[in-house]
Structure 1
């Protein structure tokens, strides 16, 4: 059995692992948590409470607490992300956000937005706590309320928060504070904000920071000052975020405008 688990991290609510398995299998076993996962490559053959299922790449798997499950991975190898979610925490989210009628049917299914949300959560560094929390709430929104929702839901609250974020580019704001500005729970706040803007609130603030950073780089402001004044975690965080959007490093971007000024 060749099984490699990477990027494992644990918390009171969720344990996450990114797994690569080749010619491997898990015998029948059970968990006392929800186990939510997505396959990235390969095919997983599953036995779940008496049913035989197949999970190809891109599919979602969900096992409810105390379900009996076994897995056999294809010889070509499988790569997947697995999240173990504490039932008491999920129950609290359901209760606090009036989702009591929701049920979670276990098995294999396809849900592109949830697949992407799980991937985004797994890729968000745990050291960036606010962003990590936002990615997790976004994941829960896709899992628990996959429907389109109402157009313009909580529009005024979202607009108020967008203005607040524009005025606080240098502050490290947590989701609880933003939700308080909106007058919503964190769960509904993230859900409504993303439906209206296409981004989570902290992702939106990052775009505003990067727009301001571009202006300052064009004025040849030193990148260390930009990091300090615009609320980036450190120089590496700024470089990676900037390059992801612009395709070049902040230094290369600033040098291009420096060259133009000389010309």
Structure 2
């Protein structure tokens, strides 16, 4: 039995996430217009590409460039489960150029077994399949792509630049618009910083990435509104959260208590 799910976001048309849970699912030789970034959850397979055979196992991350003909053949005795992130080739090539890497020319397989790498994968899936906004979603994709790209093409020395003077513009924009839906494209436009280098530079300067900074602003706003005894449902939407359930989960994660309990505290 095969179960396949797809996730897309109209605000971020450059990606498509595929979740596949199957006892055995093999494909003939084929190619995609997009870059393919696959994460294996269970099972083992052999990736064929241009006469080369690459072993793929649990917690492997596979990066396949756009247009490269390949085929994946899971072993029959194993359950085969994986996630596949399809990324627009132009968007990925911008990432390679902005981060000082030569574009990937052939598939690569990297085992991501350390806790930090696994957390990056988990965060990406939770963001893309949950109620996160476009800022958090794109940031999670870039974080995972950075992890995978390090195995393919390391950063070339001297090509990465940080325009720290422009980070204050981003911070001020977040303060002014934190209740709204914000994208990396918007931050790129107001600051002049490339989105791929912006994330790292912003985190180095302010300790958290832009989407987390935005969430902190929303939480602080919500706390002020709760102290004024505003209705929780009203606060959830006014602060910019997806719905009341999302607001309660995020608020408790940051404060240790639900909004209702915080409101009762005196």
Matched, 1:53 2:62: no
Flag the 1:200–1:236 CA change in 2: closer, same or farther, 3 A: same
Equivalent position SS for 2:178:
coil
Deviation track 1:105-164 (CA, whole Å, cap 9, x = no partner) reads 413213456654444333225763343333334444444467699999433322442244
CA RMSD in angstroms, aligned pairs only:
3.5
Equivalent position SS for 1:123:
helix
CA positional deviation for 1:7: 4.2
CA positional deviation for 1:184: 0.8
Query: Equivalent residues in 2 for 1:69-108 (5 A)?
Result: 69-73=71-75, 75=77, 77-94=79-96, 97=98, 99=100, 101-108=102-109
Matched-pair contact (CA < 8 Å) for 1:19–1:81:
yes
Flag the 1:98–1:213 CA change in 2: closer, same or farther, 3 A: closer
2-structure distance, mates of 1:166, 1:46: 49
Matched with 1:36 is 37
Q: 2:171 pairs with 157, 162, 167, which one? A: 162
TM-score normalised over the length of structure 2: 0.75
Flag the 1:99–1:135 CA change in 2: closer, same or farther, 3 A: same
Matched-pair contact (CA < 8 Å) for 1:39–1:56:
yes
Flag the 1:148–1:163 CA change in 2: closer, same or farther, 3 A: farther
Deviation track 1:180-219 (CA, whole Å, cap 9, x = no partner) reads 3332122222232234445331221102211332344345
Deviation track 1:170-189 (CA, whole Å, cap 9, x = no partner) reads 34333233223332122222
Where structure 2 has 5 or more consecutive residues not aligned to the other structure, the ranges are none
Flag the 1:28–1:152 CA change in 2: closer, same or farther, 3 A: closer
Matched with 2:20 is 19
2-structure distance, mates of 1:77, 1:198: 40
CA positional deviation for 1:238: 1.5
CA positional deviation for 1:36: 0.9
Flag the 1:206–1:34 CA change in 2: closer, same or farther, 3 A: same
Kindly indicate which of the two structures has a greater share of residues assigned to strand: 1
1-structure distance, mates of 2:22, 2:180: 42
Matched with 2:8 is 9
Flag the 1:169–1:92 CA change in 2: closer, same or farther, 3 A: closer
Q: 2:201 pairs with 192, 210, 230, which one? A: 192
Matched, 1:110 2:115: no
